[in-house]
Amino acid sequence: MVGALGIVMTVNSDRTVSLSAKDWCGILASIMTILGSLFAVYIHHDRQLSVIMTRQEMVIERINRIEDKQDQIQNANFTTSSN
């Protein structure tokens, strides 16, 4: 029986397919490649989320400073207009 990559697998008389060490190495290499790719995508995604969270924290701090300045200006205008 010839596999998809042209690799010959041995067949016993009872129609049970047995895989050689070379076949198992190919299967394991394929699995490791897929897992490695998934890990790389996960790491990239995690870094992107970290960047977004850092930017979000900076924007929140900036908004808080702007709101504080706005409150100070409004309070200063209120106290001068009430005099």
Contact present, 61 and 67 (Cβ < 8 Å) = no
Phi, psi dihedral angles at 9 (to 5 degrees): -105, 140
Question: Per-residue pLDDT tens for 35-46?
Answer: 999 999 999 999
Q: Is 17 within 8 Å of 9 (Cβ atoms)?
A: yes
The token pair at 39 is 């890990």
Share of the chain above pLDDT 90, in %: 65
How confident is the model over 4-24, as pLDDT tens digits?
566 666 655 666 778 899 999
* Residues with Cβ within 8 Å of residue 48, at least 6 apart in sequence: none
Indicate the domain borders of the chain.
19-77
User: Is pLDDT of 30 > 60?
Assistant: yes
pLDDT of residue 56: 98
